[in-house]
A and B are shown apart, each in its own frame.
Chain A
């Protein structure tokens, strides 16, 4: 069944929002995510740009500074709520996984 926009977050969306807990330049997110995830996750420049635009439109982030082409953003309450929901969903999935596989899961 098709997902309602931002009802669940992809990994890319999740980590971009996570990076914006603190005010951050958009460009810096390209380095922050691989550093945060031990290079497990990286986000493409096109994906980053498009998601920042979509998050802005959905009021999930706020543009805080514009210095020429460098812009910085920060998470909003709504963005925080979306992250919390996604975290709860992931936790529930992890719990279900442990319930099935028991000690094997650890």
Chain B
């Protein structure tokens, strides 16, 4: 028969009523808490019996302490006098048990009990929650700025767009937890002062877990939609797990060796920071060293002035050969992003730089807006990518201006002006599609009509 059992337990740190209830039920089944934790609690086998359990908080203790502080030891000695034995400690939490029929409770003054819990939470749960709250709000603000600055990129990139609901789903339980705690604290303080009674904490986490699981699901969808493979995600998860495991292992080892709280905290945070940096730099190094093909495979390579360039043969909706009679050799590249709101595909047909190959280049971007009310955001975003620069009385032109749309059979068409030149770059607005196209030659009306026929919806 096993003498150790592990259970997934999830309590709010201050929810001592729920913890007490669970531990008393476990004692009846023959298990006594040995080591609490963030998710997994360890129990050891005992003879099944009715035990009284008390969960108390010691605000001046820390997860990084090498052992119980002098104050904790003193309190445990007091408790021992009334028959309370220490079962486990976890940071500021101490768990006692008592075999007597009706032992004197460890906490007999509601005012003091509420204040002690609050002092412990001010050092433990509340800072963590406020930091997470600030992080969520920062990320959401960042997303808003991203959306305003470049709506098309934001709305078409799964990693950007889908993180918004994900962060919101993380933010909601944090706000609920903070509000619930302060609501409880305010009521508990009043009741304790007026009636010397302790207001029980009744906290149901089911809703929060559902939101957090949904958030995780959205994050996975975001990464998969971004083209990140399951293998890459698995590696990411494993590496994060290894970092967490390593840091915890080192922290516990330092505790066993009697390293002081401050040194342990400094080393643990430092090691976490260093390992995370190493991992991030490793990823960046791999990307720089080996590049990323966005899931595409090159069909060849060629040398150009000492540089090896790749040749692609991706299918393109519009090719130069469709609009002019020409022989040439090109690298044809397609890449893009797509979400439920916007699809942003970029296509390039570039001449291969070899002798006797003088074909022109063509590049274009097709933005399909699937939700009508986002169309104007996308159009404005594309127009605003180019801004004139004004120096005293001189204007350096670098912006789109309206031209005749009839050649394109479109709603609106803009052409790019740069300095004193008019470039062969157009922004063409059809009903649900916007195309930004750059010709590396001056197109004829017939060529424009052909492009409109192929790309216009």
A10 touching B196 by the CB < 8 A rule? yes
B424 within 8 A of A: no
- Among residues of A, the one whose C-beta sits closest to the C-beta of B82 is A45
A51 within 8 A of B: yes
B81 touching A30 by the CB < 8 A rule? yes
Query: Smallest distance from the beta carbon of B78 to chain A beta carbons, Å?
Result: 4
Q: Which chain B positions have C-beta within 8 A of A71?
A: 74
Bitwise interface map of B from 170 to 186 toward A, beta carbon under 8 Å scored 1, else 0:
00000000000000000
A44 touching B190 by the CB < 8 A rule? no
Stretch at the interface among B105-113, B260-268, B286-294, B415-423: B105-113
A50 within 8 A of B: yes
Q: Which chain A positions have C-beta within 8 A of B190?
A: 2
Q: Which chain A positions have C-beta within 8 A of B81?
A: 27, 30, 45
B116 touching A50 by the CB < 8 A rule? yes
If over half of A's interface residues share one DSSP class (helix, strand or loop), that class is named, otherwise mixed; here it is helix
Residue among B54, B109, B189 making CB contact with A12, cutoff 8 Å: B109
Residue among A10, A42, A48 making CB contact with B78, cutoff 8 Å: A48
A54 touching B104 by the CB < 8 A rule? no
Q: Which chain B positions have C-beta within 8 A of A54?
A: 112
Q: Which chain A positions have C-beta within 8 A of B79?
A: 45-46
A47 touching B84 by the CB < 8 A rule? no
Bitwise interface map of A from 61 to 81 toward B, beta carbon under 8 Å scored 1, else 0:
000000001010000000000
Query: Smallest distance from the beta carbon of B86 to chain A beta carbons, Å?
Result: 11
Residue among B54, B78, B115, B196 making CB contact with A49, cutoff 8 Å: B78
A44 touching B107 by the CB < 8 A rule? yes
Q: How far is the CA of A48 from the CA of B71 in the complex (A)?
A: 12
- Among residues of B, the one whose C-beta sits closest to the C-beta of A53 is B71
A40 within 8 A of B: no
Q: Which chain B positions have C-beta within 8 A of A69?
A: 70, 73-74, 77
- Among residues of A, the one whose C-beta sits closest to the C-beta of B77 is A69
B82 touching A30 by the CB < 8 A rule? yes
Query: Smallest distance from the beta carbon of B67 to chain A beta carbons, Å?
Result: 14
Of B79, B108, B116, B189, most buried by chain A (CB within 10 Å of CB) is: B108
Of A26, A27, A43, A50, most buried by chain B (CB within 10 Å of CB) is: A50
Q: How far is the CA of A30 from the CA of B115 in the complex (A)?
A: 21
Q: Given A2-B190, A26-B78, verify A44-B105 contact (CB < 8 Å).
A: yes
- Among residues of B, the one whose C-beta sits closest to the C-beta of A28 is B81
A-B residue pair count with CB separations less than 8 angstroms: 73
Q: How far is the CA of A48 from the CA of B79 in the complex (A)?
A: 10
A42 touching B104 by the CB < 8 A rule? yes
Query: Smallest distance from the beta carbon of B109 to chain A beta carbons, Å?
Result: 4
B34 within 8 A of A: no
Bitwise interface map of A from 5 to 21 toward B, beta carbon under 8 Å scored 1, else 0:
00000111100000000
- Among residues of B, the one whose C-beta sits closest to the C-beta of A30 is B81
Q: How far is the CA of A68 from the CA of B56 in the complex (A)?
A: 23
B70 touching A46 by the CB < 8 A rule? no
Q: How many residues in A have their beta carbons less than 8 Å from beta carbons of B?
A: 23
- Among residues of B, the one whose C-beta sits closest to the C-beta of A11 is B196
A42 touching B108 by the CB < 8 A rule? yes
A46 touching B75 by the CB < 8 A rule? yes
- Among residues of A, the one whose C-beta sits closest to the C-beta of B104 is A42
Interface of chain B residues 109 through 140 with chain A (CB within 8 A): 109, 111-113, 115-116
Interface of chain B residues 225 through 242 with chain A (CB within 8 A): none
B75 touching A44 by the CB < 8 A rule? no
B17 within 8 A of A: no
B108 touching A44 by the CB < 8 A rule? yes
Interface of chain A residues 55 through 103 with chain B (CB within 8 A): 69, 71
Q: Given A49-B78, A69-B77, verify A44-B104 contact (CB < 8 Å).
A: yes
B193 within 8 A of A: yes
Q: Given A51-B112, A69-B70, verify A27-B107 contact (CB < 8 Å).
A: no
Query: Smallest distance from the beta carbon of B219 to chain A beta carbons, Å?
Result: 42
Interface of chain B residues 39 through 81 with chain A (CB within 8 A): 54, 56, 70-71, 73-75, 77-79, 81
Residue among A26, A27, A45 making CB contact with B106, cutoff 8 Å: A45
A46 touching B77 by the CB < 8 A rule? no
Q: How far is the CA of A54 from the CA of B115 in the complex (A)?
A: 11
A47 touching B113 by the CB < 8 A rule? yes
Q: How far is the CA of A12 from the CA of B79 in the complex (A)?
A: 16
- Among residues of A, the one whose C-beta sits closest to the C-beta of B84 is A45
Query: Smallest distance from the beta carbon of A90 to chain B beta carbons, Å?
Result: 15
- Among residues of B, the one whose C-beta sits closest to the C-beta of A34 is B104
Q: How far is the CA of A45 from the CA of B111 in the complex (A)?
A: 15
Q: Could you show 7 A-B contacts with beta carbons less than 8 Å apart?
A: A27-B77, A27-B78, A44-B82, A44-B104, A46-B79, A51-B109, A69-B77
Given contacts A45-B78, A46-B78, 11 further A-B contacts (CB under 8 A): A10-B109, A12-B108, A44-B109, A45-B75, A46-B107, A47-B112, A49-B74, A50-B115, A50-B116, A51-B109, A69-B70
CB-based closest 3 A-B pairs: A45-B78, A44-B108, A46-B106
B positions within 8 Å CB-CB of A: 54, 56, 70-71, 73-75, 77-79, 81-82, 84, 104-109, 111-113, 115-116, 189-190, 193, 196
